[in-house]
Amino acid sequence: MLWQQNVMTALRMSQMTARRMIAAAEKAEVEPGTPIGAIVNISSLAASRAQGGLLGYAIASAAVEQMTRGLALELAGKGIRVNAVSFASVMSASLQAALRENPDWRQVIETGTPLGRIAGPDELAETVQFLASDAARFVTGQVITVDGGRGLLDRVEAPAF
């Protein structure tokens, strides 16, 4: 289920979008090498941080990130950039539902996020908007993490070196 929902849907949407961009560029007789568009996929910090109970989600997230890199290479010559945004500590619908069932998680998440808060969905959307814009015209194959610094932390509090 997670594979179909997270990986295959992203792959099919990316392929369909790329085909339409290429067809539109050909119809408009756009010169080869001219930038014609950008695709932005969504991933999760789970792609790079293992956590119990999230094996399927972690594998699917990692696959989306690698798919993004592969598509970036395949589509660069067509003038299409492909990037992804990986997120954590963002107030998504699933996090809202989890917090309703487990209100004490809010403090755990905020304490475990160096910026000390949960981001609004607009902060994720603005990163996607940046990657889709001309301001990122030389960015492709990248995964930008929007997590308030959460991925920087080592969950083991005692030094192990």
Known catalytic residue at 57 = yes
Q: Residue 53, Cα to own-chain centre: how many angstroms?
A: 20
Catalytic residue among 15, 48, 57, 78: 57
SS3 of residue 82 by DSSP: strand
Helices (H), 28-141: 55-76, 93-101, 105-111, 121-132
- Asked if 40 contacts 131 with a C-beta cutoff of 8 angstroms, the reply is yes
- Asked if 117 contacts 110 with a C-beta cutoff of 8 angstroms, the reply is yes
Q: Which residues are catalytic?
A: 57
